[in-house]
Amino acid sequence: MNNADPPRLRCEHCSRPLQAGRGAFYLVRIEAVADPSPPVFDEEDFDRDFAIEIDQLLDRVRTLSEQDLEDQVHRQLAFLLCVPCYNRWIKNPTGANP
């Protein structure tokens, strides 16, 4: 392979080689964001010892990388699917049971 060769594209699901410019695949982009709603508090929350909970939270955070922490609140994915794989996937993108 020399530097003039185009990058080899493959379907993320079935590994079929894909050729750009032929309408033979889809670029799928997914963005997942943790619940952006304001937190909801109830009576029990006001009885909690926040100093202990903050210490426990900091202990957990110290074991995670910056990337792990970011992944917990925001993920972006992009992948290619050939047309047959796309047509199967788009009918049930969450994988939910019918």
When binding is defined by CB under 5 A, the residue of 18, 26, 80, 82 that contacts Zn ion is: 82
The binding track of 34-73 with respect to Zn ion, each residue x by CB under 5 A or -, is: ----------------------------------------
18 binds Zn ion, rule: CB under 5 A: no
Output the DSSP codes for the chain: --TTSPPPEE-TTT--EE-TTTT-EEEEEEEEE---SPP---HHHHTS-HHHHHHHHHHHHHTS-HHHHHHHHEEEEEEEEEHHHHHHHHTSTT----
CB of 31 to Zn ion, least distance (A): 22
CB of 27 to Zn ion, least distance (A): 13
Size of the site for Zn ion (CB under 5 A): 6
